[in-house]
Amino acid sequence: MNLSLHSLAGAALSMTLAGSVAVAQERAKQDHTKSFTGIAAYYSTDYSGRTASGVHYDPTKFTAAHRTLPFGTHVRVTDMKTHRSVVVEVNDRGPFNKSRVIDLSLAAAQELRMISRGLARVTAQVEAPSITPASNPSTR
pLDDT value of position 24: 46
d(CA 46, CA 51): 15
User: Which residues of 43-117 form beta strands (DSSP E)?
Assistant: 63-65, 74-79, 85-92, 100-104
Count of structural domains, the chain: 2
Angstrom distance (rounded) from CA 131 to CA 25:
13
Q: pLDDT below 50 — which residues of the chain?
A: 12-13, 15-17, 20-21, 23-25, 28-29, 132-140
Indicate whether 11 and 43 sit together in one domain.
no
Backbone angles phi, psi at 47, to 5 degrees: -75, 135
Could you tell me if 25 and 42 lie in one domain? no
Give the pLDDT score at 6.
53
Question: Are residue 131 and residue 69 in the same domain, yes or no?
Answer: yes
> Per residue in 30-48, pLDDT tens?
555 699 999 999 998 888 9
Return all residues near 66 (Cβ < 8 A) that are at least 6 apart. Answer: 73, 75, 90, 92, 93, 94, 101, 102
